[in-house]
Amino acid sequence: MMKDASLLLQAPPGAAMARRARCFAARKSPSPLRASRAVVGGARRPRPAAAPLGATSSSKSDTWEDEFTSLDDRKADEPMPLPNLTKRKRIILVRHGQSTWNAHGRMQGSSNNSELTEKGAGQAAVTKSLLENAKFDASWVSPLKRAQSTADIVWSSSEVKPQVLTSLREIDLYSFQGLIKQEAEKEYGEVYKLWKKHPAQFEIDGHYPVRELWFRASMAWQSILRSDATNSLVVAHNAINQAMICAATGLPPNYFRRFIQSNGALTAIDFFPNPSAQGRPKIVIDRMNQSPVTPSWSKTRKESTSQKFVLIRHAATDSTDNATI
């Protein structure tokens, strides 16, 4: 059973934190697919007492404690290189369907308090139909409920049990988690602006979330690509799937938000062995963000100058069917 929020180490201070604490309610027991540990939320650690006169201290100390702290995988290090391959591999990345917090505009991060909406379950069902002819040797899933519920639907016709991989959890957003986006903008001011405009430099609670995410994506690739499976399904989240795409193709953290993954959408990546024993695998992105819903125009602020384009390739021709150049 999931633990009630009252069992957290310490309730986060401040009005915003109090509001978030009210969101942490007990949940029902996870299905057999779920990870053995349930994630309720997180809390700031008590700050240490003031240092003696003359001692040095850092305002960047880690002040956050949650269910994933003990994993020691929150490192702003350079991503690890992809492992060498001896055979071709295809990986399908799927983002979970719409969650309750997606619908409310609440920042989820790696918290585990939101669940699939009816719309989200429908998106997962459409994604399943898109993959009905695909044959997978293995499946990997985030430890968070919204991803696991999506995997339950997408993977329902398979007898192979998905493996829970903690490195596939969504980006750790620390004190932002549980806040409505407008609340974070109002109460965190310049910190929130940095998150929106320069996410690779964004720091909160002594952490650099996007840099840590890139490192964790490289950890996930180590597990997935070193397995014996040739074709694997990965069901996770928007930010971590973006980071995995970028880590695979060698793009740095400042590419965050360049490859948005929609709810229920899938991305297919092919990995080919490099003839050079020391060379990184050749990467081909076969499809990107193939969504179960029709393209829509993003809602932007009045002062925004952003533009959105939808690129469509022609349908199959005699040449493509016959593999003619």
Whether the CB-CB separation of 127 and 155 falls below 8 Å is answered with no
Give the Cα separation of 281 and 260 in Å (integer): 24
Q: Is 170 a catalytic residue?
A: yes
Active-site annotation holds for 207:
no
Count of C-beta atoms within a 10 Å radius of residue 250: 12
| List 96, 183, 207, 237, catalytic entry | 96
| Radius of gyration, CA atoms only, the chain | 21
Residue with tokens 């309720």: 40
Question: What is the spatial distance between Cα 174 and Cα 206, in angstroms, rounded to a whole number?
Answer: 10
How many other β-carbons are positioned within 10 Å of the β-carbon of residue 249? 15
Paired with 240 in beta bridges are none
Inter-residue contact 77 to 253 (CB < 8 Å):
no
Q: SS3 of 284, please?
A: strand
Identify the bridge partners of residue 270 per DSSP, sorted by sequence position: 90, 284
Query: Amino acid identity, residue 52?
Result: P
3 state SS of 32: coil
Strands (DSSP E) along the chain, which ranges? 42-44, 64-66, 89-95, 138-141, 163-164, 231-236, 266-272, 282-290
Choice among 65, 104, 132, 170 that is catalytic: 170
Active site residues: 96, 170
